[in-house]
Amino acid sequence: MKSIVIGAGFGGIAAALRLRAKKHDVTIIEKHNDLGGRARVFKKNGFTFDAGPTVITAPHLINELFELFNKNPKDYIDITPLNTWYRFIFDDGMKFDYSGNEELMKEQIEKIYKADVKGYENLVKFTKRIFDKGFTELADMPFDKPFFMMKQLPALLNLKSYKSVYTLVSSYVKNEKLRRIFSMHPLLVGGNPFTTTSIYGLILYLEKKWGIHYSMGGTGNIIKGLEKLMNEVGVEIIKNSEVNKIILEKNKITGVQINNQTNINANNVICNADPPAVYEKLLNENNNSSFLFKWKKKRMEYSMGLFVYYFGTKKKYENVEHHTIKFGNKYKEHLIDIFDKKKLNNDISYYLHRPSATDQSMAPDGNDCFYVLVPVPNNQSKINWDTEGEKMKNLVIDKMEQDLMPNLKANIISDFYLTPDYFEKELNTKYGSGFSIQPKFTQSAYFRFHNKSEIYDGLYFVGAGTHPGAGVPGVLSSAKVLDKIL
Ligand SMILES: Cc1cc2nc3c(=O)[nH]c(=O)nc-3n(C[C@H](O)[C@H](O)[C@H](O)COP(=O)(O)OP(=O)(O)OC[C@H]3O[C@@H](n4cnc5c(N)ncnc54)[C@H](O)[C@@H]3O)c2cc1C
């Protein structure tokens, strides 16, 4: 059985390995000359910048890929738990250290608003119920049949999946700051907490169950370990090659064409590339699809874009945690501007990553390595990032100087940034969205792009745009779905 995987992000690599373990003859084709997709690595002036995922959750899903071949993950990767998971900071200077230490969590909640301690306990209990259903039971199940979806509906309604994460959290916790903290998880997978289905409240519990981890040497070292494994077990890796066409005979996939010249035949093609872009650009503008599918695709809403500024400093900022999330004052308005109005807002919220807080190998001695991520509108906005990019960079530096890193500008010795244009042009995602389509109820499970194409025989999807969705645990789970259907 010959299977081709298009794209070597976490989802594509996991699919290639899972199919190889089932004795398929597997080739993985990646546009770039390095693997990882959103999880690739940039090196500059002695700094190692992980481009994307930094918060590693559910590490067993990574370990499983090595164990499929009776290999010890520890021989390839080094994943270590963090004590403080996120430090949240607010405009008034208030800080909250979020961790798996329940005593410390409750102590801090009590100081902010005593009555919310009980609400927090009940919220955690409720998210366990969502987790048991949404993750344990359904994350790696194929949602390609309407009957299967209908069977889940009573349980999903019982779990209040018609509510948003923010509304769910607000029904347990009354203080606005705490509401923001406990409802921020959709932002990690491309959703607005005010509109994302409360099923994604499961992330709160998932973090508590398995902790938050860091990959020593950076997330890139996980990709490196997985590449080594693919080479050892006989997955063919073709880099620097873009698939420009998926070849069809009637409705059956027969192979792919790369770089506008070479055809490779296959029984199955598994796309880790963004599903809407695949249907539009690699499959003849989607002409074969039904009216219903065209409508489904047309009404899809896309996740936000990301502005990511990578920088190294000549001094160390020991006061800055490994992961910091700063909420802007007009948080909700900011999110409405990004997701709905598709415009920039100066009152930004941001996520700051400082891997050298845990791992000095990411920066030269005495230096610090960072990236700061600002959610911005995706390219439906038509923002000209050639002019806005520099302004956004200066804005976020100013904010970080005010909030927690005095004199930052003068201390930066290496930097660059990525905008939604990078996601659109380099990673081939529709509208340059950071996380493919949004995780709304009407775009989840059966309503998302199916893992087994609803249009073509022999075509499959893994990665952020298909079930269960974005984030490393999500895309690794999508490869487990594939295991069940191919
Ligand atoms: C800045 C940032 C921070 C994040 N932080 C976290 C985090 O802390 N924790 C977490 O769990 N998740 C995080 N995420 C989300 C997570 O990184 C992604 O959801 C996940 O890595 C996406 O993986 P994927 O399998 O969908 O593939 P992608 O990483 O999207 O890779 C797809 C690959 O396909 C290739 N490709 C596309 N088209 C073609 C073609 N035609 N031919 C050949 N190759 C092609 C692309 O080059 C790319 O390599 C973050 C994402 C970003 C962007």
**Residue 149's pLDDT is what?**
94
- CA 36 to ligand 1 centroid distance, Å: 7
Which two three-digit tokens encode residue 329?
Answer: 């004052």
| CA-proximal residue: ligand 1, atom 24 (nearest) | 463
| CA-proximal residue: ligand 1, atom 3 (nearest) | 52
Q: Which amino acid is at 84?
A: T
Distance set, CA 355 to CA 79, 87, 218, 320, 358 (Å): 13, 14, 8, 10, 6
| CA-proximal residue: ligand 1, atom 7 (nearest) | 53
- CA 106 to ligand 1 centroid distance, Å: 35
| CA-proximal residue: ligand 1, atom 4 (nearest) | 53
**Residue 291's pLDDT is what?**
83
Residues with CB under 6 A from ligand 1: 6-12, 29-32, 37-39, 52-55, 242-243, 272-273, 306, 308, 373, 427-428, 434-435, 463-464, 470-472, 475
**Residue 289's pLDDT is what?**
74
**Residue 290's pLDDT is what?**
82
| CA-proximal residue: ligand 1, atom 6 (nearest) | 53
Q: Concatenated DSSP letters for 469-485?
A: -SSHHHHHHHHHHHHHH
Ligand 1 atom at minimal distance to the Cα of residue 35: 49
- CA 394 to ligand 1 centroid distance, Å: 26
- CA 108 to ligand 1 centroid distance, Å: 35
Rounded Cα distance, 58 and 128, in Å: 15
- CA 237 to ligand 1 centroid distance, Å: 17
Nearest-5° Cα angle at 342, 336 to 348: 60
Please state the pTM of the whole predicted model.
Answer: 0.98
Q: Residue for token digits 């039971």?
A: 137
**Residue 285's pLDDT is what?**
63
| CA-proximal residue: ligand 1, atom 50 (nearest) | 53
- CA 319 to ligand 1 centroid distance, Å: 30
- The tally of CA atoms less than 13 A away on the side-chain side of residue 245 is 13
Which two three-digit tokens encode residue 22?
Answer: 């089932």
pLDDT in tens, the chain (486 residues): 999 999 999 999 999 999 999 999 999 999 999 999 999 999 999 999 999 999 999 999 999 999 999 999 999 999 999 999 999 999 999 999 999 999 999 999 999 999 999 999 999 999 999 999 999 999 999 999 999 999 999 999 999 999 999 999 999 999 999 999 999 999 999 999 999 999 999 999 999 999 999 999 999 999 999 999 999 999 999 999 999 999 999 889 999 999 999 999 999 999 999 999 999 999 976 566 788 888 888 899 999 999 999 999 999 999 999 999 999 998 999 999 999 999 999 999 999 999 999 999 999 999 999 999 999 999 999 999 999 999 999 999 999 999 999 999 999 999 999 999 999 999 999 999 999 999 999 999 999 999 999 999 999 999 999 999 999 999 999 999 999 999
Q: What is the DSSP letter of 426?
A: T
Nearest residue to 129 (alpha-carbon basis) of 172, 159, 151: 159
- Map residue 340 onto helix, strand or coil: helix
Rounded Cα distance, 438 and 441, in Å: 9
- Provide the residue count of the chain: 486
- CA 29 to ligand 1 centroid distance, Å: 15
Which two three-digit tokens encode residue 319?
Answer: 């006061």
Substitution candidate for ligand 1 out of 38, 184, 281, 437 with most atoms within 8 A of CB: 38
Angle between helices 472-485 and 10-21 (to 10 degrees): 30
| CA-proximal residue: ligand 1, atom 10 (nearest) | 471
Substitution candidate for ligand 1 out of 56, 272, 350 with most atoms within 8 A of CB: 272
